[in-house]
Every structure is written in structure tokens, then in C-alpha cells.
Amino acid sequence: MPTDRRVVDLTHVVEDGMITYPGLPGPEVGVHLTREASRAHYAAGTEFEIGRVAMVANTGTYLDAPLHRFAAGADLAAVPLDRVAAVAGIVVDVRGAARGAGPEAFAGLDVAGHAVLLHTGWDAHWRTERYGRDAPFLTLDGARHLADHGAVLVGTDSVNIDDIGDRTRPAHTTLLGAQVGVLEHLTNLGALPRDGFELHAAPVPVRGLGTFPVRAYAVLAASAGGPASGPASGPASGPGGGPA
């Protein structure tokens, strides 16, 4: 990478058995073909390992496409790459505010064509029981504001873009209904400036799926200022504890 740019990782590490969302199973990370078994297929001294992962699509840091909410919505393979890669980003610090982020959180911000990332700080509770309780979220009016003002992607470092106690899932419904992708379980947003960076969060284009993990990261100028909102909370790890 050119020395005038730097990369900030915004993705939780996926590990065998970890819990992303309360009630969903953790991934099973294992081996399909061992190195020992592979030796029968290759020349002496040559060996390989073929891994295997079994998991629900809502694992780790992931993208929701419209199909996640709507039966006739676009699947992952139909999501335009320019809406999940090299997207101008904005970080909105909602720590210390009400649990629900409404339109007031975005006052004065030009979100058109941007990925709007909600820095709630909730990733500090990643893989703890606290992570799934009373978590910050985006309100219906907040989601409408972002969709109406042209945001192309909305992300959060919380357990869900919605209040998990609201079974109507208004933020998902509003954003995905407007073809605005949703990123959940981000981390390390505190390491980013308010703006002046590109977000990359492309999933594998799986036909027929509405959700899949991403490697989310930001690219910014090496000379860019420090965090817009205090110290970073680095990629979290720790003991493990409807996903939409």
C-alpha cells in the first residue's frame, strides 16, 4: 500500500464456537482434508490442508442485503459493488446519548452517497452477556432520515441496528426497503476520524443469501487526524455468551 495511506480494521475476528447474536449457534471451524491425508494425493514432501466452516450467515461482522428482510429483495450477488466498496464514510458518535439514535444525531451532516457508521461503543461488550441487553439502536425516524437523505450504507458497532425488543424491526425495514445496506457488529470505530475515509465492506456474492460476513475496513490518508471521538476500542475478543 502507498505510504500516504493507512488501513483501519473494523472487523471482529471469527473463532470456532463464538456467539455473535444471542440464540444463534457459533461457527464450527475445522478441517475437511488434513495435511496427513493429503499426502496420498501429492508428491513426496507436498501436503495441503483444506478447511471447513459451518455457520449461520449472521456471524461476526456482516452485511444485510434487502433479501434479509424482503422475500423479493436483492440478494448478496445483486448488491452493487460500489455500494459496499470505496464508499465515503462518516462516523457519528452517539455514545452517551439516548439508546435510540434519531434524526438529531445527523443534524448538519451531508450523508448523501455515504456510509454512515454509528459509534455506540457497544463493541466493548462483544462476546459477553451484556452485548445482547439494552443495546443502542437506530430509531425509525433516524432510519427514515438516512434513507431519505441518500445514505447508501448504514453500520453500527452494536448488536443490532434495531432495538432487539421491537419485533417489527423498523430500521431494517426502512433501510433495506430503500436499498440501503446494513452493517452490524462493527468494531474499532473510535480509531476513525469523523470523515475523510473510504469504507470497504464487501461480502462474498452468494446467490440466494441475504446476509454474509464481511472484512470491513477503512482506508484513509496517513496524515489524517486522530479519532473523532476519543480512544479506539480495538477488535474485541473474549468468552462467548431473532438476529435481524
Q: Which domains does the chain have, with CATH numbers?
A: 5-22+56-221 (3.50.30.50)
Looking at residue 224, what is its pLDDT? 82
Within its chain, how far is the Cα of 193 from the centroid? 18
Q: Which residues pair with 51 in a beta bridge?
A: 31
Report the share of the chain in percent with pLDDT over 70: 92
Within its chain, how far is the Cα of 63 from the centroid? 6
* Mean pLDDT, rounded, for 217-232: 72
* pLDDT tens for each residue of 42-72: 999 999 999 999 999 999 999 999 999 999 9
Looking at residue 159, what is its pLDDT? 98
Looking at residue 60, what is its pLDDT? 98
Q: Which residues pair with 5 in a beta bridge?
A: 221
* pLDDT tens for each residue of 101-145: 999 999 999 999 999 999 999 999 999 999 999 999 999 999 999
Residue 181: half-sphere exposure toward Cβ, Cα within 13 Å = 35
* Mean pLDDT, rounded, for 14-35: 97
Calculate the average pLDDT of the chain. Answer: 93
**Listed residue (12, 6, 5) closest to 156, CA to CA:** 12
Question: What is the rounded (10 degree) CA torsion for 84, 88, 93, 98?
Answer: -60
Give 242's pLDDT tier (boundaries 50, 70, 90). low
The predicted model scores a pTM of 0.91
Looking at residue 163, what is its pLDDT? 98
Looking at residue 1, what is its pLDDT? 62
Contact 221, 196 (CB under 8 A): yes
**Listed residue (154, 160, 98) closest to 125, CA to CA:** 160
Looking at residue 47, what is its pLDDT? 98
Contact 101, 139 (CB under 8 A): yes
Contact 208, 97 (CB under 8 A): no
* Mean pLDDT, rounded, for 20-31: 97
Does residue 230 or residue 34 have the better pLDDT?
Answer: 34
Looking at residue 226, what is its pLDDT? 65
